[in-house]
Structure 1
């Protein structure tokens, strides 16, 4: 619900390109945080590829 409100607000003030750009930016930030705070996933996948 909050995402729809923020998306509509961004589209109203700027344009729809800003909505898609902010979504892509948030996705990249979330992927970076996942990579940073979940190192055990990386370790497991590298051990699996070595076997």
Structure 2
């Protein structure tokens, strides 16, 4: 189970970082990038707490 959880976490981190890169490439207003970071990190922490 631990290996599956690690794989899922890694995939979440990768998808979150890809979304941040895409949003920065589009050169949206700077407020959108911290918002995306906040959602990604918040979701990641929430998911980690659910597993733990």
What is the TM-score when the length of structure 1 is the normalising length?
0.51
Higher gyration radius (CA):
1
What is the TM-score when the length of structure 2 is the normalising length?
0.50
Q: What is the RMSD of the two structures over their aligned residues, measured on CA atoms?
A: 2.2
Gaps of 5+ in 1: 39-51
Asked which structure has the greater RCO (Cα within 8 Å, sep 6+), the reply is 2
Gaps of 5+ in 2: 1-13
Higher helix share: 1
